[in-house]
Homo-oligomer: A and B are copies of this chain.
Amino acid sequence: MNGYRDLRVALLGSGSVGAQVARLILENGDELAARIGARLTLAGIAVRNLDAKRDVDLPRELFTTDAERLVQGSDIVIELMGGIEPARTLILQALEGGADVVTANKALIAAHGRELTDAADQVGAQLLYEASVAAAIPILRPLRESLAGDHITRVMGIVNGSTNYILDRMDRFGESTESAMRLASDLGFLEADPTLDVEGFDAAQKATILASIAFHTEVPDSAVYREGITGVTLDQIEAAKSAGFVVKLLAVAERLNAADGTEGVSVRVYPALIPREHPLAAVHEGKNAVFVEAESAGELMFYGAGAGGKETASAVLGDLVSVARRHVIGGPGIPGSTHAELPVLPIGEVLTAYQIMLEVRDEPGVLARIAGILSAHGVSAASVEQNISAGAEGSALLTIGTHEAREANLAETVEELRNDAAVSQVLSVIRLEGRA
């Protein structure tokens, strides 16, 4: 058609995303050719087991178990196998062979992004992975290209759909953690190993990727501070609700000056309170959203589906068209940019605020004593609410919202409160994010 040249595309993996990607390439050939200026030929689909693909509605002859051979002689390789190996080796082979690569593999990019990016840069090839974070939502390209002339200061995202689903059920319908989790599991929203979701590992991988692109800095997976949602109680959520907050599992990456002035970045995942009027508070069910703050652009938000075969395939196809266009034009891709190389600062350096709920003895002087503990650590209270009736006999419930302070000081404050004779129990400690 129109004398377009052919580009050979190798597809590695044929799960729910892979099958959609194959279908789109096969069904939308003419339209893709018009957008690219070349025709995409699906050279093959590498799978582990041919028999398992018997009832997939794709031409049988496309399937092969020889991924390595399929990669050889391809112009573009799409890796949708997941996991580290053999995905990593196959991508390296593809890049060395001069192919461009598109992947949705968040675990691989989080762990080996630098190695793969360097390999691509060395041969002037392209490696794109938009689908690895927040599926259908265009976020990596806007961070990398649209904001290329700005200074991103903070990225704060709801990037794990299943934990958002769980917290949203608890918030909106008053469900218990267990009941919401069971429902999420029944609906297939949780990974085979649910700890990847509920302990924040999945969100941490995405935070790594977001941070490395936003700050042009390599962020090792292991440098991400991580707390999951298993400790979040319905009581916390309901207390948050009545105070005008909602609990969300946030992946935060930000530029930060340490106490000693060192410029660095902080990357962390934890459940936190955000004000109801914050745009992230309106992200319900399994949706994802990434809130970005930049010096000139101000506040931006990118919202949409964070999972799903079709949705993820949309992002893969966007990257595919992009690398194919560049393949036609020739010349090297945009180099992976890690020129800043800022240090990743420990969680103790982060400036944040705490909401602390205590059960205290209902006696004169207790409030002054607690205020003294805060101020000894340089922490000041933004709000203190006392609720006598809610506590046990002879005790009171105290909810303290702090001003922003270094995490290390806040943690020490909580530790001292926990050991103080006036405090019968530390009921809840949760961070506050997104306040104006």
What residues make up the interface of A, taking CB atoms closer than 8 Å to B? 20, 24, 28, 32, 34-35, 37, 130, 136-138, 141-142, 145-151, 277, 279, 282, 284, 294-305, 308, 310-311, 313-318, 320-322, 325, 329-332, 334-335, 337, 339
Contact = CB atoms under 8 A, between A and B. Distances in A.
Contacts of A28: 149, 151
Contacts of A37: 335
A32 B147 CA distance: 11
B334 A300 contact: no
Contacts of A136: 294, 296-298, 300
Contacts of A331: 329-331
Contact of A298 (B277, B308, B321): B308
Contacts of A335: 37
A300 B304 contact: yes
Closest 9 pairs between A and B when the two form their complex, measured CB to CB = A149-B317, A138-B146, A297-B314, A296-B314, A148-B321, A300-B304, A136-B297, A138-B142, A301-B303
A305 B138 CA distance: 18
Given A136-B296, A149-B318, A303 B305 contact: no
Interface centre among A297, A311, A318, A332 (most CB of B within 10 A): A297
Contacts of A322: 145, 148
Copies in the complex: 2
Given A294-B314, A335-B37, A320 B149 contact: yes
Nearest to A317: B149
A301 B295 CA distance: 21
Contacts of A310: 295-298
A362 to B, nearest CB: 40
Contacts of A150: 314, 317-318
A319 B129 CA distance: 21
A272 B138 CA distance: 27
A136 B20 CA distance: 33
Contacts of A334: 325
A305 to B, nearest CB: 5
Contacts of A308: 298
Nearest to A145: B322
Contacts of A282: 279, 282
A314 B130 contact: no
Given A24-B149, A329-B331, A138 B300 contact: yes
A331 B310 CA distance: 33
A317 B296 contact: yes
Contacts of A337: 34-35
Contact of A24 (B296, B305, B314, B329): B296
A297 B331 CA distance: 30
B297 A304 contact: yes
A216 to B, nearest CB: 8
7 contacts: A28-B151, A35-B149, A141-B146, A142-B146, A297-B310, A298-B304, A329-B332
A282 to B, nearest CB: 5
Contacts of A313: 296
Contacts of A305: 297-300
A150 B299 CA distance: 27
A305 B295 CA distance: 12
A320 to B, nearest CB: 6
